[in-house]
């Protein structure tokens, strides 16, 4: 285990990266790392509540026990700490958790369009599918509840109207998966604007299997994605996280394209201005 002061620095580095990339705004988002306390008892270093992550400093990071109680720090821990603790509770392999609000991924949940489809081979190999959780009131006990059945088999989740949750062996690994989610959203957006989103078919998935057998098999059979294998050209959310089975009517597709064009214009305006 690396020294605590180095892990604090890592959290600050990722927070600033999140802010610079526009994945969070102001005090949004939270980042945590699991550490070992006296006798090896697990503890969590986590960002505090109410601080702008772009200006956070090493000594702002707080230390909590696995019930969320403050052990050391000047502020209270993030109001989303229960979601982080649930991920750590369910998986011993998780070393860090990143919760952010990337705009496109979040917009997809508002538009009820799923990212849980086998579209990009690199994503299938590294993360499997990207399911969307049911809606939960932010900073409430609902957060751990909506992730608990998905986090066991997924390293990357889209939270309905509430951004993303990614986990990894360390904070850089968890952050990298967030970048992949937003990249997938960007590619999916572009494909839909061009007229049609297609998925990897069964033969293409089979050729990926030797590179990451367990993950590819799990992605192909994932109930969060009922449309993989190329049989459904569009994916719409039903019951919170699955893909429906029919192409949207042309009028609806045109409305989608206009809405997406507006989102792109707003993103470009924000990026340039």
Catalytic member of 4, 6, 80, 266: 80
Task: Look up the pTM and report it.
Answer: 0.82
pLDDT averaged per 10 residues in sequence order, the chain, 273 residues: 93 98 96 94 96 97 97 96 98 98 97 89 88 96 96 95 98 98 95 86 82 70 52 37 40 63 68 65
The question of whether 80 is a catalytic residue gets the answer yes
- Give the phi and the psi of residue 106 in degrees, each rounded to 5: -65, -40
DSSP-assigned beta bridge partners for residue 168 = 96
Assess if residue 199 is contained within a domain. yes
Assess if residue 270 is contained within a domain. no
Assess if residue 208 is contained within a domain. yes
Assess if residue 262 is contained within a domain. no
pLDDT score of 177: 97
pLDDT score of 118: 87
CATH number of the domain that 152 lies in? 3.40.225.10
pLDDT score of 248: 46
Please state the domain count of the chain. 1
Assess if residue 237 is contained within a domain. yes
Read out DSSP for the chain? ---HHHHHHHHHHHHHHHHHTTSS-TT--EEEEEEE-GGG-EEEEEPBTT--GGG--GGG-EEE-TTS-EEE-SSPBPTTHHHHHHHHHH-TT--EEEEE--HHHHHHHHTTB---S---HHHHHHH----BPPP--TTSTHHHHHHTTTTTT-SEEEPTTS-EEEEESSHHHHHHHHHHHHHHHHHHHHHHHHT-----BHHHHHHHTTTSHHHHHHHHH-TT-TTTBTT-S--BEETTTEE-SSPPPHHHHHHHHHHHHHHHHHHHHHHH-
Assess if residue 52 is contained within a domain. yes
Q: Which domain holds residue 169?
A: 4-243
Would you state the structure tokens that stand for residue 230, as one six-digit string? 């190329």
pLDDT score of 221: 63
Assess if residue 53 is contained within a domain. yes
* Number of Cβ within a 10 Å radius of residue 188: 22
């Amino acid at each position: 285990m690396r020294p605590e002061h180095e892990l604090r620095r890592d959290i600050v580095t990722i927070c600033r990266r999140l802010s610079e990339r526009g994945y969070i705004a102001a005090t949004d988002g939270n980042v945590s790392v699991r550490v070992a306390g006296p006798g090896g008892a697990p503890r969590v270093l986590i960002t505090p509540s109410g601080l702008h992550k772009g200006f956070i400093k090493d000594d702002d990071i707080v230390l909590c026990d696995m019930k969320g109680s403050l052990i050391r720090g000047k502020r209270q821990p993030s109001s989303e700490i229960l979601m982080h603790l649930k991920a750590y509770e369910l998986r011993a392999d998780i070393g860090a958790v990143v919760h952010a609000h990337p705009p496109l991924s979040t917009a997809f949940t508002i538009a009820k369009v799923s990212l849980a489809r086998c579209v990009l081979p690199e994503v299938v190999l590294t993360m499997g599918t990207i399911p969307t959780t049911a809606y939960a009131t932010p900073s409430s006990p609902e957060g751990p509840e909506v992730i608990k059945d998905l986090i066991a088999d997924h390293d990357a989740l889209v939270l309905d109207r509430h951004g993303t949750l990614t986990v990894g062996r360390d904070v850089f690994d968890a952050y990298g998966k967030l970048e992949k989610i937003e990249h997938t959203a960007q590619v999916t957006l572009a494909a839909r604007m061009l007229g049609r989103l297609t998925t990897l078919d069964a033969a293409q998935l089979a050729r990926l299997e030797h590179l990451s057998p367990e993950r590819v098999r799990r992605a192909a059979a994932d109930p969060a994605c009922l449309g993989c294998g190329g049989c459904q050209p569009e994916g719409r959310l039903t019951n919170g996280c699955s893909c429906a089975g029919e192409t949207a009517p042309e009028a609806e597709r045109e409305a989608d394209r206009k809405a997406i064009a507006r989102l792109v214009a707003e993103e470009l305006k924000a990026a340039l201005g």
